Structure 1
């Protein structure tokens, strides 16, 4: 004989029948209890008989209205307020019909108080059963199917996070950690504060936790770094809630947890902006950003929108990059007047059309080819055309159409360049310096190092390699770079744009150089792995690369400014005849080969010394021999 279980009813679609049987029983129970409670748990003889024959009449009427009000179309697993409303309506109408019929049939020994007690009891039993069933199913899924996690922090952000994660399909919070002893052993939304952050290793092992969320958006960089180190020491994957700026802007919710970004561990203090000055510079002005779909260009646009320009013109060669930023801004800034223009900075006719139509007062020129190895070989002339001639075209259009200020985004690779990309960016700097003073347009140059997470940088590459199980590839064990976050770089560009004038070159405070191999190790630990799981391989320096970057050339010196993160470089100025030679070369109809490009760049940029193609690979040869041995 087949065993009849709950799954049997589910298999054959008989769950509505099972729910109907439950409600019939509930109607019988509620009817009897209403009599029993009316007489203080002791039914006298006439009423003990009346309860049974009146029960048959009442339950029959109730069941009719249960079906009429669709109580069996819903699923108990997802019972909610609409289901309760249907129960209340069905019971109310059923009660009125029952006692109307009892009055018409003149059935005796039915206390009037039953008309009040019975519907209340019936609603509680039917609604309570559904609520208990849903709670039971939720509890089973919550425990069985969700990964246990710990949360560092027991403040307002943690409270909001716990509330948001209570229905999360993947995680369940099993404990909180906070360094405030007064919060230990107390609870937030039923979750206990287990102890201090330094106890993370103990609690993660005890509770089988492999993921930890840092819920401290307002913590200082050093404090956040300490929390991350605790997670690394416990060998758990570390996530974090969005930053306080993002939360206050309303762009994201507290539950939008994300992986800890490597820039959060740089320990850099926030950039202080001259808000009043930037409002005067940007508010109610037309601002144009070239290369607006790139990492720096798009972040510049985001920062500019904070100051409410009259119009923001986004100029970008890549259709997809422009579409991506359009989708973001249409959602987040629907009230702003923003134009999305596809175009090439080398196209003078297109630039004339844009300048004539929109008349920008400010231009931020971020469009450039920046990938060193790609520009070093078969794309050298393209780097010259885009980085040098493109800058010249946009700068001349700015002069012609009386742009007030032109800000060029440069790079530390323009200092004593060893590659084509760096040499072309140095030429772009020199073009802006040469054009200064011809008209009222002020040219400002901002030079900085690598930004973490930008397109083509090592961070996205390392993250992808980790996702694929490794190995992480690093060119050289001693290679170092300066790094800052994309938002920090964009804010300092705006600040430099405000302060700069007369062809000045601003150098950003990039902090201390970071070894790329240390960056790789940090990302491995942040992902919850170690180097035995994700290995690091050294591949050799690529064409045009050098072991370290410089922010100032040898014949330069810097002057301090009133901003602690900005200094002014006193760079070698370009000679008056230099500009004509440079422009004649980049506008020639003939296409020179790579060697000719390098030779001419050496003539035009005296600091440029091409890296030898015969690089010293002694270290890597040793590694190869060791691995083969």
Structure 2
């Protein structure tokens, strides 16, 4: 066994050496050998008045292999074969000179110890200057050639650019723009909020003002491109800056937060990306109480229904970080669940993560009570996140029985099994449309909330519900629709010019859902702080501008009228004055105003009505049981 292990380790080292010793490295090794040989030969010729005696030439040939070997060793120690010389700067040149000095001195003293007759020190001094110049020139030749070439080429007019941020990140971006030909930009100024920097220069480029006047500077200087390099700034500051720039029509590239830069930009390269709608609407990062989350997730078996959907899949991704024993992805739609399973498998194979809970994908419908019971019996989950639901308002108006089957009966089936199999926590993902519902989808989610609150009264399981509004980029949401309409050349359709909605990013919503689960002691209806409501028309206009087009000029915006069951605005908290605070300033608890009495009898009646050919019976019962349901 020991012999086999040694052989495997040896083979691994050989493979690593072969991987490192690439063709490019071999060429540079060979080139260095030629330069060293030529340099010492030149030194010998110069020091002997352009003639070489037989004795000196033989000494030269004897010492040369050792000298070359020493230079290779020293160059390797100074990482001369690992630097990216196309990006070489002052530091690389200094390191190169130092490596040559150490190699020359080492060669002189080692040769002195090994041979009685040897070349004297003056040869080495001359050789040092020749080798240093030659090795540095060979490594920087491509960059010098490219810079020289641009002086004599016809230059296509470049885009005039500004860099937001005159700190180290801004300098990194400037350096990248200078050496990377794909960025066709000429930087004419920096913008920074530090008043002490304004009026000074970076690489000869002036710092011309602060972000408070960025829109005026862009218009005044006719700027085409703006590079935002303030990765340390909070999301609210970045959002403020981006919104000012976006109104001018200038193109925008963003340097992401430092953790993204470090993860995604190897070899010191700067990562720049286009901005997206999330950047324009983003809020400051959420600070989670991770100890409380780990307490109910770590080493537990977690079921996520609707696990292949937008919210369910992100819940699975974030739950993994808290080291559960198993994550069970339960979904009726196999394609999304399979894609998520493959995503986890790729992540695990990459060895980029420490926590690797077992991922189990089960195809099942929450409507099938027997199948849900079998799953709970086999896997005995500790925590359930119930995200499975029909959510599209207009579609559910046309197919109300399907909404009731999935959102009401499906929730009852899963929640009931959680009680039967002693699940510790059950978290229902609800919606702002459940508040004073005006449509079938909202009413079914309100009924689902009543179900879990009623079960909490009689069960050892802690049941809770979490309400939030629209999530950016989720399946079927307005953002993908607008993007598709823009790609097709328009028109972009908005139901009403004044319609407003709450928006939250998918990761942000899931973070708060998981945090709410930690707070849940049973019977809470958590409501997430969604920030300010956003006018849908503004959203459409921003997306058109982000696509490099002008709203109303390049892309028409068409108003289609409110759809059946659609509100002009959404409510989150029924009574803001009575909302209870939690430890998180993003999560509130609505005082329990539910009438749970008779819920199970109502579920039984609704279930019977679904077997009727007349869907109006089920809808009529839903309207009767949800007192706040008002059809508009």
Cα deviation, residue 454, structure 1:
2.0
Aligned partner of residue 170 in structure 1, secondary structure: coil
* Residues in 2 aligned to 1:178 and 1:562: alpha-carbon distance in whole angstroms: 38
**What aligned pairs does 1:29-178 form with structure 2 within 5 A after superposition?**
38=47, 121=130, 124=133, 128=137, 131-137=140-146, 149-161=161-173, 168=180, 170-171=182-183, 174=187, 176-178=190-192
Mapped contact 1:154–1:193 kept (Cα < 8 A): no
**What aligned pairs does 1:284-299 form with structure 2 within 5 A after superposition?**
284-299=299-314
Tell me whether 353-362 or 390-399 shows the greater mean CA deviation: 353-362
Aligned partner of residue 328 in structure 2, secondary structure: strand
**What aligned pairs does 1:502-581 form with structure 2 within 5 A after superposition?**
502-531=522-551, 532-553=553-574, 558-563=578-583, 564-565=585-586, 566-576=588-598, 578-581=599-602
Mapped contact 1:147–1:171 kept (Cα < 8 A): no
Question: Cα RMSD (Å) of the superposition?
Answer: 4.8
* Residues in 2 aligned to 1:440 and 1:141: alpha-carbon distance in whole angstroms: 75
* Residues in 2 aligned to 1:135 and 1:367: alpha-carbon distance in whole angstroms: 60
2:227 maps to 213
Taking a change above 3 Å as real, the CA distance of residues 423 and 187 of structure 1, as seen in their structure-2 partners, is same
Q: Normalising by structure 2, report the TM-score.
A: 0.72
1:235 to 246, 249, 253: 249
* Residues in 2 aligned to 1:214 and 1:469: alpha-carbon distance in whole angstroms: 29
1:9 maps to none
Aligned partner of residue 413 in structure 2, secondary structure: helix
1:447 corresponds to 2:447: no
* Residues in 2 aligned to 1:163 and 1:308: alpha-carbon distance in whole angstroms: 41
Unaligned runs of 5+ in 2: 1-31, 61-84, 89-95, 101-118
Taking a change above 3 Å as real, the CA distance of residues 202 and 593 of structure 1, as seen in their structure-2 partners, is same
Mapped contact 1:283–1:308 kept (Cα < 8 A): yes
- Count of paired positions: 546
* Residues in 2 aligned to 1:148 and 1:260: alpha-carbon distance in whole angstroms: 19
Cα deviation, residue 592, structure 1:
3.8
* Residues in 2 aligned to 1:548 and 1:431: alpha-carbon distance in whole angstroms: 26
2:319 maps to 304
Taking a change above 3 Å as real, the CA distance of residues 111 and 409 of structure 1, as seen in their structure-2 partners, is closer
* Residues in 2 aligned to 1:498 and 1:79: alpha-carbon distance in whole angstroms: 51
Cα deviation, residue 569, structure 1:
3.6
Mapped contact 1:361–1:404 kept (Cα < 8 A): yes
* Residues in 2 aligned to 1:80 and 1:158: alpha-carbon distance in whole angstroms: 17
> What's the CA shift string for 1:270-323, capped at 9, x where partnerless?
434333322322223222222222222223233323333233322233333223
Mapped contact 2:325–2:358 kept (Cα < 8 A): no
Largest Rg, 1 or 2 = 1
* Residues in 2 aligned to 1:139 and 1:583: alpha-carbon distance in whole angstroms: 82
Cα deviation, residue 538, structure 1:
0.8
Aligned partner of residue 471 in structure 2, secondary structure: strand
> What's the CA shift string for 1:70-123, capped at 9, x where partnerless?
xxxxxxxx9999xx9xxx9xxxxxxxxxxxxxxxxxxxxx99977985797488
* Residues in 2 aligned to 1:193 and 1:157: alpha-carbon distance in whole angstroms: 16
Cα deviation, residue 375, structure 1:
1.9
* Residues in 1 aligned to 2:219 and 2:497: alpha-carbon distance in whole angstroms: 34
